[in-house]
Amino acid sequence: MIVGVVKESYPGERRVALTPNVLPGLAKTGVETIVQAGLGLSAGYPDAHYAEKGARVVESRADVFRSADLVAQVRGYGANPERGREDLGLLRRGQVLVATFEPLTALDQVKAVADRGVTLFALELVPRITRAQSMDVLSSMATIAGYKAVLLAASELPRMFPMMMTAAGTVTPARVFVVGAGVAGLQAIASSRRLGALVHAYDVRPAVQEEVESLGAKFVELEIDASASQDAGGYARDLGDDFYRRQREAMSRVLVNSDVVITTAVVPGKTAPVLVTADMVRGMPPGSVIVDLAAERGGNCELTRPGETVTAHGVTILGPINLASTVPFHASQMFAKNVSTFLLNMIDKEHKLDLGKDDPIVRESMVVRDGEIVHPRVRESIGAGAAATRSGA
């Protein structure tokens, strides 16, 4: 089997789907790797490193698609709707595509890929079960985002994070409030504590209190029922407007004493819930900083502008997008480990892909098989969209 990797075409994307260090492990199962020249330069992986690990380096993108049985990308067409269209004509029937794809919202792109007769795996849909942890690209990239969010906040905040005893007096520590104690939130807590900040954190799941406190932060209890906060797959669930309204009221009391707020609440396939309103921002101390890690989904702060930094009521609000790409070497290393483990899970003893394997990881991440849309949630979304179109006609 030949696995191909091409340069990412999404603007500003510096990550790569496979790095040289994972190639020997794939080669042991009979996998040959073909990569586009210059693939990893922006991430710190030159062509020579790929060649040293056994990859065949070719000049053109078309050569990779023409030769590969399976193509691995960081961003497939659905997660790269403008430039990704250029790859459609290069896909051929029977080929396998493994990438992040935004399959629950990029429905037209899913249908376009299905029309090419390929098989598509969306890495965002890998179930959050113990055996799949080493394949979870969302958690890997969230780790980097949580770390980088703290660095951005520290750079913008007009005060230092740690407490310092100096000849000029005592510097009090910055007060950081992290909203959401998932992977990104926990990493933000840990990074803030390492810099010496006083950290508080909140999550709708009371069960994470022990994890928060183990990192040296104080867990904020808002006394709001959120018993249905996650679905069976371990992903966050939309809790409804009334819940978020009551949550905002309770959170306001914490924000007024915070120098930095880092928000991380994202629901897959949906617009991010607004947790911080303009009125709440108005009540924060002048010079405070909000880093909204949900900016790509619309933002947890009402005033967030994706990809921009804005100032309102004396508060700086950052809406970073694609933060993992700003740390491309290690982001690629982690992504590649996830992807290679995902591939190895599907390769059978005869060194072939077992696409019919009765495995929840394979089953739940497969969106299209041989041109047919097979994922239940995606099929449901497409059907609902078609019904809405008919009713509006």
Tokens in use for 168? 């000029």
State CA 317 to chain mean position distance: 20
CA pair distance 76, 87, nearest whole angstrom: 9
By DSSP bridging, strand 119-122 and strand 366-369 are antiparallel
- Active site amino acids: 128, 133, 136, 139, 235
Dist CA 14 CA 20 (whole Å): 15
Residue that has been written with the tokens 């113990």 in this structure: 130
Contact 146, 114 (CB under 8 A): no
DSSP for residue 95: -
Q: Are strands 119-122 and 96-100 parallel, antiparallel or unpaired?
A: parallel
Instruction: Kindly list the distances between the CA atom of residue 266 and the CA atoms of 53, 140, 293, 299, 307, in Å, as whole numbers in the listed order.
Output: 38, 15, 9, 9, 17
Distance CA(246)–CA(275), nearest Å, equals 10
CA distance linking residue 18 with residue 71, whole number of Å: 10
Q: Determine how many CB atoms are found less than 10 A away from the CB of residue 166.
A: 7
